[in-house]
Amino acid sequence: MSQLTKREVELREKAAKALNKKAKYGPDIDVSAFSRTANDWGKTSPAELPADVRNQALRAGVQPDMKARAGTFFQIDHSVVFEGVNKYFDGAIELISTVEAKRKYGWLDEYFWKAVPVDADKYTAIAALNWDHGYFLRVAPEKKVTVPIQSCLYISRNNLDQNVHNVIILEPYAEAQVITGCVVHPNVSKALHVGITEIYLKEGSKLTYTMIHNWAEHLAVRPRTAIILEKGSTFISNYVNLKPVGSIQTYPTAYCKGKNSVAVFNSLIYGGKKSIIDVGGKLVLEGEGSRGEVKSRVIATENAEIYSRGALIGREANTRGHIECRGLLLSNSAVIHAIPELRGEVNGTELSHEAAVGKIAEEAIYYLMARGFSEEEATSIIIRGFLDARMFGLPELLQKEVEHAINMVVSASL
């Protein structure tokens, strides 16, 4: 290991002190129960990966063919197996491992652990002390990348601890769409995934960031994400989780520091079996005229327990924020918690929320059954309609791919 800088030493010392610090939300996890031993995967094209790996990645919207992507980053366990940019976007984007990027660019050190505190909890701490790559994405000034950039973070080994740190920088007036899939091998029943993502949007830039999680029944997932928005920048987050999972706890925060900056968090959540899912979004409206939304559609079935959180903090005049949660209960044993928080700190901020949780109306089931559908088919139609990806407002190509991923997972779940 190369000699650590003074700042790196300080960060590691802070992280070490937080190794036993419980997270504010979600079930506590004994991180020492997971293995740090991983197989070494060699470099290869995504199209040449084993069929079972490719098929699982497809379920999370990750295409093995580079033709439909501006760039691809593929990591399995602790190994980066592929990183590349479509030749048509050479010079517009850079997509490499964060480990490699940090060695390459001395200035990048100031972006690490700036948006997300290294000592926030035990999960940020282990991500700092046991770092397993992740991706660095930079879009050059004024470049409009109209084709999606994709990343896949894959776990192939049972009981593995995978800690990734992603850094995204959009330079002034750049635009990009990122679709990231988090996936496990069908034979993996238990593992821990910690994902740190720090996003920096410079003046006038726009990022659409779509995440599709395809986890397993006993996985523990702890993403820690923060976004810093400068003047006139826009961040749109689309989060999809449609598979049973042991537990997910994430509460991304967007800091709208620039004037007229905009942040939107959209979530589609389907929780089944004994899943504990604690997700949401927090907006800190610090720039004059900044605004945003936190919107979620949640389905809970079997014994799932889902927390849908939203927080709006208005710290500057002429700011607006809204929280909306719609929940659908498919089981008497399932639970949905809608937890909004509004905090206005100045005169001139306008914050609001609305929430509704209920079950499928019997009249809707009977209506569809009267038109020849079975009860199971009628329920499936209603669920698909509720999990409507059109709320994301994606470009048509990406919209179809996300809908396809949703249909694949919902079909397997019902």
Mind listing the pLDDT tens digit for each residue in 113-158?
Answer: 999 999 999 999 999 999 999 999 999 999 999 999 999 999 999 9
Question: What does the alpha-carbon distance between residue 317 and residue 323 come to, in Å, rounded to a whole number?
Answer: 19
pLDDT at 55 over 50: yes
* pLDDT for the residue numbered 326: 93
* pLDDT for the residue numbered 398: 67
For the residues 186-205, what does the mean pLDDT come to?
96
Parallel, antiparallel, or unpaired: how do β-strands 218-229 and 175-184 relate?
A: unpaired
Per the listing, tokens 């509720």 go with 386
* pLDDT for the residue numbered 411: 66
pLDDT at 389 over 80: no
* pLDDT for the residue numbered 412: 58
pLDDT range class, residue 50, cuts 50, 70, 90 = very high
DSSP annotation of 64 reads S
* pLDDT for the residue numbered 58: 84
pLDDT at 410 over 70: no
pLDDT at 405 over 90: no
For the residues 315-333, what does the mean pLDDT come to?
95
* pLDDT for the residue numbered 151: 97
Element (H, E) at 160: none
325 and 293 Cβ atoms separated by less than 8 Å: no
Ranges 53-57, 301-305, 390-394: which has the least confidence: 390-394
pLDDT at 303 over 90: yes
Kindly give, in sequence order, each residue whose CB lies less than 8 Å from that of residue 9, ignoring residues fewer than 6 positions away.
none
DSSP annotation of 115 reads S
pLDDT tens per residue across span 213-226: 888 889 999 999 99
Q: 93 - beta bridge partners?
A: 90, 139
pLDDT range class, residue 408, cuts 50, 70, 90 = low
Question: What does the alpha-carbon distance between residue 268 and residue 191 come to, in Å, rounded to a whole number?
Answer: 23
pLDDT at 287 over 60: yes
For the residues 176-191, what does the mean pLDDT come to?
93
pLDDT at 404 over 80: no
Closest by CA to 318, choosing from 277, 338, 354, 346, is 346
224 and 253 Cβ atoms separated by less than 8 Å: no
Whole-prediction pTM value? Answer: 0.94
* pLDDT for the residue numbered 184: 94
Chain-centroid distance, C-alpha 31: 21
Report the alpha-carbon angle 158-277-21, nearest 5. 75
Question: What does the alpha-carbon distance between residue 252 and residue 229 come to, in Å, rounded to a whole number?
Answer: 13
Average pLDDT, the chain: 92
Closest by CA to 154, choosing from 49, 268, 226, is 49
In percent, the amount of the chain with pLDDT more than 90 equals 76
Per the listing, tokens 């498919």 go with 330
pLDDT at 375 over 90: no
pLDDT at 1 over 50: no
pLDDT at 312 over 80: yes
* pLDDT for the residue numbered 392: 75
pLDDT at 357 over 60: yes
356 and 325 Cβ atoms separated by less than 8 Å: yes
pLDDT at 397 over 90: no
* pLDDT for the residue numbered 261: 98
pLDDT tens per residue across span 70-122: 999 999 999 999 999 999 999 999 999 999 999 999 999 999 999 999 999 99
